[in-house]
Amino acid sequence: MYSTENLNDQMKQFVELQQKSLEPLRIFGGLAVEAFEQMSRKNHAIAGDVVEFSVKQSGLALNGENVNETASAQMAESKAFAELMNQRSTEYVEMFNALGGKIRDASSEAAETFKAA
């Protein structure tokens, strides 16, 4: 009976150690899912921006009264689109910086977990 209790305790300790050692993987997995979601949503938004810009540009070419008005309107739309893409690139940088901070924090936690084990 003593050996069975001892074996149960050892198995319990083994499972706890295993859970501790796998915790960093769970954290990094969660960060990967978060990064995938944010990137996918950002890429989807940009795809929508490109569609809107393309439709506007096509419509301007068809609806313009004279060449100068059409060219001027297309240039204005192009400038607005370029500004929007600059804003989107800033959003990407902010997203990557935030995710980088979370990864650094998770790495520190993982290192502490392994030191404690």
pLDDT number for residue 25:
81
What pLDDT shows up at residue 8?
Answer: 81
What confidence score (pLDDT) does residue 112 get? 77
CB 99 within 8 A of CB 93: no
- How many separate helices (H) and strands (E) can be counted in the chain? 2, 0
- How many CA atoms within 13 Å lie on the side-chain side of 69? 7
pLDDT tens, residue order, the chain (117 aa): 457 778 788 888 888 877 777 777 888 888 999 999 999 999 999 999 999 999 999 998 888 778 898 899 999 999 999 999 999 999 999 999 999 999 898 888 877 766 765
Residue type, position 75, single letter: M
| pLDDT score at 7 | 76
75-95: string of b/e by CB count within 10 Å (b at 16+)?
Answer: eebeeebeeeeeeeeeeeeee
